[in-house]
Structure 1
Amino acid sequence: MTELQEQDTLTAGRASVLADLAAALRGDLITAADEGYDGARAVYNAMIDKRPLAVARCANAADVVACVRCAVDNGIELAVRGGGHNAGGLGVWDGALVVDLSAMRSTTVDPAARRVRVDGGCTWADVDAATVPFGMATPSGFLASTGVGGLALGGGVGYLSRRYGLTVDSLLSADVVLADGSLVTADADHYSDLFWALRGGGGNFGVVVSFTFACHDVGEDGTVVAGPVLYSLEDAPEVMRWYRELLPSLPEELSGWLGVITIPPAPPFPEKLWGAKSCVIVWCYTGPAAAADAVTAPIREFGSPLVVGLAPMLFSALQSAFDGLYPSGLQWFWKADMFTEISDVAIDVHAKFAARLPTGHSAMHLYPVDGAAARVDAGATAFPHRQGGWAGVIVGVDPDPANAAVITKWARSYWKELHPTSAGGVYVNFLGLEDRDRAHGAYGGNYGRLSRIKAHYDPHNVFHINQNIPPAS
């Protein structure tokens, strides 16, 4: 048989396999022959351009089981895509069968038990819509468009981390399709080793088709006092030194992330500031309303802010406040590290590269990981970065593909100078495609245990299109 004949036989065989899979699914199977293929393979980060074998828009857990078994039985690469974004675009891959959970979006809240069950394709907007009307929330991130699965499996740093810990600290159970096609429920009493690994170990251990989270009080009836305080870029070093000393001393009901940004050219920002480079702290106070003025007074009164945007709002409004600035389809390039301090050397680097912000969407953010999040033992969950400090990320972002090289060069150069001031580790959810070899640093002392658990549940590394933990030999 010639090479061309072998290829034709392989193609015919794959077509037959996909036809059988399509017939078995309640959801849709989309291939290159279908009109919606380009839309189905597109991901949040438009810098990623992969051509999968097929995209399975799963309707339920049975569809996920069918996809995993099909891929394993036929030697097909498997990629798993949740409901939101991924720094490296690892929810899609050339030649892979993509298990797309984005159609699985149901939520069920139990106000009395203070918990919420969430399908694997949900975004945090879906969760907040279910919980905030009851005055509750589960710790999540900073954008409502973020997918629940990706954020939760990597750790989950967000506005509520100082008060209630990370997302993984509120995970009660998870329904998981394993590499052998079985469906199990992992919690503290069942598959406890798998449950430990899911709380920070990423998508290495299976496809999570649903999560159950604890919910916590947030503000009064879901209303918090929150918003940005903007400073002139010239004041950034002074602001950063003040912030690094102040934050650990604040009540845990108050948290704020620090960044360097370009002020968006849109309301509610004053028109005279549009396009100006700025140092920003976005604050969120979730305690009693009667104490809000006293607690937030130090952050309102420091320095000479350009804008003090603190105001009462629903927690869900804060979560979605920046979604419009970062719609799906932008070019993204990510670099990241963990930091136990914001040193004077680091502040000099931040000031230098803030002045060189290449595009209006590009930014640097430092997210606090202290308070309740830091009181959890480093070995209690797979997420290891419990020593306090910040998860830092540098993102080069722009709508225009022509600027991809510019934003990439800026982010790489910024990271190269800043990295020596870091703690050495990295938050796995911030790892881009070129940093897949940093997975060991993402898990620190937990890596060995994760590798052994991987060997038990996925010995052939079926789930490897991720920030991968190879199974222990």
Structure 2
Amino acid sequence: MTGRVLGPDDPRYADFTAGINQRYTAKPATVHLPRTTPEVASAVSGATGRISIRSGGHCFEDFVHHEDVEELVDLGGMSEVDFSDGVFSVGAGAKLQDVYEKLYRGWGVTIPGGICYSVGAGGHITGGGYGLLSRRDGLTVDHLHGVEVVLAGGRTVVVTRDSTGAEADLFWAHTGGGGGSFGVVTRFLFAAPLVTPPSEVLVAALSVPWADLDERRFARLLGGYARWHDEHRAPDSPGAPLSSLLMLNHRGNGTVGLVAQIDAAAPAAARVLDEHLSAVLGDLTTTGFARAGEFGPMPGLARPRRLPWLRATRFLGTNTPVLNDPTLRAEHKSAYVRNPLPDAQVRTAYEFLTRPDVTNPNAMLVAFSYGGAISAVDPAATAVAQRDSTFKLLYQSFWSTVDADAANIAWVREFYRSMYAGTGGVPVPGEVADGCYVNYPDADLSDPDWNTSGVPWHDLYFKGNYPRLQRAKAHWDPDDVFRHRQSVRPAGAREGPCPA
């Protein structure tokens, strides 16, 4: 480990003690930069204080970088992707775009993971993992075969889909139970055959000027997106090979955007894409993206384009300029949506996205496709309980200065609470909503000032799957070595967020 154990005096220290969101920093006594599983085991077994685990640094909350961290284990050096004896191995520190490049170049396969190129595999996969191929091919964890995990004390185990007893619980806990609760995952194993991505995709990236959106047209836009996903929720729907993102930037941005992608070889692909665009956009005037926001300028995609899959994946994954801001600060909240949004929620969204006192162009509500093949899996088969939702909502704001914290955090919080005013300020599972996505963590779900529903944070993330996660925690980490504010609590522990 010479040269790979850092203290505060090391010039590299600052690069590993904060993630993408600069609101959260840590001051650990030691930063470990392991390159092998035995080195991770050595770091864990030798730790004398609170351990934190970092993969890509994209955690939306302070679960990785917080003031109580004493030993930080950064997995970025463990990024190998290889294949042996019928099994693909992905290092927990690999960035998603690197995973896609290596799997596709080497073997012509992929995993149906997320869009952003720099997200780390470790956090993404343990939380479920989804992206533009998921309506066609399911969640990333639906293809997971095994995990290699360093446990408290430094013991290493490999558990798989074929494991039994307590080992089966440990594997299952890593199929959507979130990171940082059970141990340090060093490798993810995927059995062949893995997903074969489309050879080519049809991609459209369009913007609508806010000047053309009054309240009625806005309702038509968001309502059309929700209705299309409701009508095409089934795994055998003609729309299952298509996924899209509707980026409802605040009016201060000037535009809202829609990015859609479909397997070009799917039956009637061009027609399905056109029908999706028509269902969402109707007769609204559209152009290629021309303003920075969730995605950067895309003037060449004003009309659907046929692109090789890897080229399209690389383009969409790296076209997020806001995430390249080294001073980035952010706030996020999420919701699964099971059925079309009530009119009251659509009106609330319009109100907050047109508030005249908000001028940040990077305040937004983003809708992401869900459903399709995702819904073919039983809610108890993995730790991801939300299987019949049709799309997700992400409430977020990005900014760059400390003095803008209060206004931006307040806007996101108030927007969210108003959207779910009838269920205690959070998306309680029911006819329309279905809780929250653990990979978009939100500490406010544990705060009775912001969650007055009486439904605890863990039921919003995991619903009825939480007791089995607790059982795995009690067996594999009974002393709660691996913990953060919303880590899984051992069975029998007090309710509420994890104490420091």
Residue 389 of structure 1, CA deviation:
2.6
Task: Measure, in 2, the Cα distance between the counterparts of 1:424 and 1:254.
Answer: 22
Q: Which residue of 1 aligns with 2:16?
A: 40
In structure 1, distance between residues paired with 2:88 and 2:285: 39
Secondary structure of 1:258's counterpart equals strand
Quick check: 1:258 aligned with 2:246?
yes
The alpha-carbon distance between structure 1 residues 424 and 372, as it changes in their structure 2 partners (threshold 3 A), is: closer
Identify if the C-alpha distance between structure 1 residues 331 and 63 changes in structure 2 by more than 3 Å, giving closer, same or farther. same
The letter for the 1-side match of 2:345 is A
The answer on 1:82 being equivalent to 2:55 is: yes
* Mapped partners of 2:484, 2:275: distance in 1: 46
**Aligned residue for 1:268?**
none
- Structure 1 portions without partners, runs of 5+: 1-24, 264-274
Code of the aligned partner of 1:68: V
Pick aligned residue for 1:322 from 319, 325, 342: 319
1:425 aligns with one of 418, 435, 453: 435
1:93-112 aligned within 5 A: 93-94=66-67, 95-108=69-82
Equivalent-residue separation in structure 1 for 2:314 and 2:360 (angstroms): 26
Partner of 2:30: 54
TM value normalised by structure 1: 0.85
- The superposition leaves residues 201-260 of structure 1 with CA deviations (integer Å, 9 ceiling, x where unpaired) of 11211111011236312221xx32223232234132111122222223252111112231
* Preserved CA contact (<8 Å) 1:85 1:146: yes
Residue 467 (1) aligns with residue 486 (2): yes
CA distance in 1, matches of 2:37, 2:446: 28
Query: Mind listing any 5+ residue stretches in structure 2 that lack a counterpart?
Result: 233-237, 289-300, 428-432, 448-456, 493-500
Q: CA deviation at 1:87?
A: 0.5
Cα distance, 1:39 vs. partner? 2.1
User: Is residue 164 of structure 2 the alignment partner of residue 165 of structure 1?
Assistant: no
Q: CA deviation at 1:48?
A: 0.7
Give identity over the alignment, percent: 27
Indicate the residue corresponding to 2:305 in structure 1.
311
SS of the aligned residue for 1:192 comes to: helix
Structure 1 residue identity aligned to 2:246: L
User: Aligned ranges for residues 28-427 of structure 1 at < 5 Å?
Assistant: 28-71=4-47, 74=48, 76-94=49-67, 95-108=69-82, 116-133=88-105, 135-190=108-163, 191-203=167-179, 204-213=181-190, 215-220=194-199, 223-233=200-210, 234=213, 235-247=217-229, 248-249=231-232, 250-261=238-249, 276-288=253-265, 291-301=268-278, 302-307=282-287, 309=301, 310-313=304-307, 314-327=311-324, 329=326, 330-341=328-339, 342-356=341-355, 358-420=359-421, 422=427, 423=433, 425-427=435-437
Q: What is the TM-score of this pair, normalised by structure 2?
A: 0.81
Retained in 1: the 8 A contact 2:96–2:120? yes
Q: Is the 8 A contact 1:277 1:354 kept in 2?
A: no
Of residues 184-193 and 313-322 in structure 1, the stretch that sits farther from structure 2 once superposed is 313-322
Asked whether the 8 Å contact 2:20–2:323 carries over to 1, the reply is: no
Structure number with the higher helix fraction is: 1
Distance 1:143 1:412 in 2: 24
Please tell me whether the aligned partners of residues 169 and 469 of structure 2 are also in contact (alpha carbons under 8 angstroms).
no
Q: Matched residues in 2 for 1:26 and 1:186: separation?
A: 30
Ranges of 4+ aligned residues in structure 1 off by more than 6 Å: none
3-state SS of 2:118 partner: coil
Q: Distance in 1 between matches of 2:196 and 2:206?
A: 25
CA deviation map 1:322-349 (0-9, x unaligned):
3333125310111222221322222111
Contact 2:81 2:103 in 1 (8 A): no
120 and 373 in structure 1: CA distance in 2 versus 1, 3 angstrom threshold: same
Task: Give the distance between the partners of 1:88 and 1:164, measured in 2 at CA.
Answer: 29
Indicate the larger mover: 226-235 or 448-457: 226-235
Aligned residue pairs, count: 431
Counterparts of 1:305 and 1:169 in 2: how far apart (Å)? 39
Q: 1:424: how far off?
A: 5.1
Deviations 1:60-105 (A, max 9, x none): 111110111112xx3x101000124100132223242001101211
Greater Cα offset, 319-328 or 239-248? 319-328
Cα distance in 1 for partners of 2:169, 2:381 equals 11
In structure 1, C-alpha distance between the alignment counterparts of 2:485 and 2:92, rounded to whole Å = 16
Tell me the amino acid that sits aligned with residue 158 of structure 1.
G
